[in-house]
Structure 1
């Protein structure tokens, strides 16, 4: 099961995710922002370095792969 949380900045998504992780045995929280931070670091000084990592098609691809990969690896 994948539960995707979306909402405004400071809307309580991280708090809700932490509560869900505690309530659902084996739950994992995958934060797309961590993928963006990795890309921002990897592309520092590069022509592809975006103002907003969400503008990079690579961010969308990596985020999707992270979430679906976690779902596949946690299924029995």
Structure 2
């Protein structure tokens, strides 16, 4: 049972890692990234389980990388 959860967690983490690497900034994709980052930060402040915390950290890491790419291309992230 624990092996299944571990495998699932690794799969989710890998998915977010690969998703961030294939990100191509556009005006549409960059709109609202800052709000999504704020939402994840709010969820993290509210408390979470260990598994959920790892997922939130991976999502946050991916969004911050996307925000960087958007700003580098001159798109608004608000």
Asked if TM exceeds 0.5, the reply is no
The structure with the largest helix share of the pair is 2
TM-score (normalised: structure 1): 0.32
Higher relative contact order (CA 8 A, sep 6+): 2
TM-score (normalised: structure 2): 0.31
